[in-house]
Structure 1
Amino acid sequence: MNFAIFARPVVTIYDLTETTKESDAGVVSTIGDEGLYGQVCQVRTAPGGVTAEGVTLPKEMAEVVSFYGYHGYVFASELQFCGEAELQSYLAAEWVMAGRATDVLTLPKVQGVRLLELERGALLRRLPEEAPHDGWALVRLVDGRTGYVRAVALEPVRWPMTAVFTQQAGRRFDEALALAEGCRPEELVPRALDRWYGGSEEAFRNALAEQAKRYLGTEYRWGGKSGRGIDCSGLVSSAYMQCGVLIYRDARLVEGWPMHEIPKEQVRRGDALYFPGHIALYLGEGRYIHSTGAAGSGGVVLNSLDPDDPLYREDLVKSLYAVGSLF
């Protein structure tokens, strides 16, 4: 089995081997997701190879499954391929996440040459320094180069990527991750809460809301998952990921990931709201945050379930069909 690291700031993951397709509305994109710099995936079929379904890939495209279980196709030029031992070593490094859009510079000063422009959610390996530079962190890039990032732009990486080694056809994602982490599937969420939030469900729920709100104003992008543009499920799944829990990437409840349906009247801050083809994160007091393609907003905004709230959206309230929770 082979693996790869996303080696561009934002890597498009397509749902088909073709990047566009015909629809009733005309030619549309087949983008399904985005991989962010430093994140990893399993390579199911190498460029030009034949998939398990008998499809011959274009020579420039690989079939991949992300560490959180999303299947798709990526241009090989945007990946750094590696073997299992190399990836194990890679993941064993000290990791930090870009907590905002940030530059990697050649020097620990603003006049340094820009090596890379990264989006929120990108991963970097932090390196020790004998003589640290105040306000800066020394990091290593995927290609081996080193550079500096403002320390204030970095956050801990709270999510595991180990399922990349254990995912296989027919195996549920939570079982794959639990196998890699050496625990039972039902222990995954409590372990994340214990590690990052002192076991507090309330602290976790609050963290989810705050992470999601950091994307306010970001433009809506179909299949997007970065500050350049993000879609509804990209927003919700990214907020959960950055808080340490991996949920299903798309806007529906799927067995094998930790989210499950609860009664609507039990909704609490941090739960997910499901509409046909759409998902939002509930913030409490009737309000929710979501990335919407609606013409009047076209991005990450706040709306409300309360008819008396000026942010009320009747069309969404009428179509709300489920509430999802980890608890």
Structure 2
Amino acid sequence: MTHIINKAIAVIYEKPNLNSPITDEGIYGMSCEILSEINDFYEINLFYGYKGFIKKNNLEEGMMQEYIVYSKFADLLPTPDYKFSSLITLPMGSRINVKEIFNSNFCEVILNDNTIYYTHKKNIRYYSQISNNLRENLIKTAQKYVGTPYRWGGKTPLGIDCSGLTFMSYYMNGYIIYRDANFEKFNNMREIPYLDIQKGDLLFFPGHIGMYLGDDMFIHSTGSFGSVTINSLDPKNVLYSEIHHRNLQIVATLEI
């Protein structure tokens, strides 16, 4: 039986304990499989193959929907009118059911509990793989997070970590990559020479990951800087990061 995340953001823990380290975040509408039950927690396997523990009240039965929140945040309103207060705000990456897109600026959204809300139609799109200009779209998505605070285990515009940034950039464009900075666990990426690198390729450092933007620039979420930022591997660039230049281990590209 499939379950989905029923909160805007739900914390995923390493162990079934609120004092356990955080490993990930579930975003509204993402699906998972329940593996076991321990007190107030479920052990789950998220649809992208990442396991952890979540509070039981953050899940409910349901199927992952075909529309995705594409803006940083989508306010869900009680009527198609901005004069009313938002009842729920969903982050980028949330999966929702869109019943109808009106000729006006709004669309009708139905959440898993069958409650109807309204949001601006620019906030959503049909979820599918992007084949045209994939590389440009990958870096455009990643750049939406520039300035987002660094948050261990995070993957929303409220806070995101290094592998959360790369995962979400690919996920928002229809591709699933491993949600970690360990290259050995990526089953759809292959190592390439730096000379062959292209926009959207991944850069692996010890315990860290970033995305290549072109012209020796890369974007990453780093605890040392405290947010998503852009650096360079070119010693002549003012954004040069010597430590990342020195410690670059692997360059990898998506196998499509």
Q: 2: distance between equivalents of 1:106 and 1:252?
A: 43
Q: Secondary structure at the match of 1:317?
A: helix
Q: 1: distance between equivalents of 2:162 and 2:110?
A: 32
Name structure 1 gaps, 5 residues minimum.
22-29, 48-56, 159-191
TM-score using structure 2 length: 0.94
Number of equivalences: 255
> What is the CA distance between 1:256 and its match in structure 2?
5.9
Give the RMSD, CA atoms, in angstroms: 1.6
Q: 2: distance between equivalents of 1:69 and 1:96?
A: 19
Question: Contact 2:66 / 2:95 at 8 angstroms: preserved in 1?
Answer: no
In the TM superposition, 1:140-219 aligns within 5 A as 140-158=110-128, 192=129, 196-198=130-132, 203-219=133-149
Q: Secondary structure at the match of 1:210?
A: helix
Partner residue, 2:153? 223
> What is the CA distance between 1:18 and its match in structure 2?
2.2
Return the letter of the residue paired with 2:131. Answer: Y
Aligned mate of 1:96, from 68, 72, 90: 68
Distance 1:281 1:147, change over 3 A: same
> What is the CA distance between 1:142 and its match in structure 2?
1.9
Partner residue, 2:6? 7
- Say if 2:77 is the partner of 1:105: yes
Name structure 2 gaps, 5 residues minimum.
none
Q: C-alpha offsets along residues 4-44 of structure 1, whole Å, 9 cap, x if unaligned?
A: 110000011111122335xxxxxxxx110111001111111
Question: Contact 2:69 / 2:91 at 8 angstroms: preserved in 1?
Answer: no
Q: C-alpha offsets along residues 161-185 of structure 1, whole Å, 9 cap, x if unaligned?
A: xxxxxxxxxxxxxxxxxxxxxxxxx
In the TM superposition, 1:165-314 aligns within 5 A as 192=129, 196-198=130-132, 203-255=133-185, 257-294=187-224, 297-314=225-242
Partner residue, 1:161? none
Partner residue, 1:317? 245
Q: 1: distance between equivalents of 2:19 and 2:100?
A: 45
> What is the CA distance between 1:313 and its match in structure 2?
0.6
Q: State which structure, 1 or 2, has the greater radius of gyration over its C-alpha atoms.
A: 1
Q: Secondary structure at the match of 1:307?
A: coil
Structure number having the greater helix percentage:
1
Runs of 4+ deviating beyond 6 Å: none
Q: Which moved more, 1:12-21 or 1:266-275?
A: 12-21
Q: C-alpha offsets along residues 123-171 of structure 1, whole Å, 9 cap, x if unaligned?
A: 1100026xx351001000122100000111112322xxxxxxxxxxxxx
TM-score using structure 1 length: 0.75
Aligned mate of 2:31, from 34, 37, 40: 40
Question: Contact 1:212 / 1:236 at 8 angstroms: preserved in 2?
Answer: yes
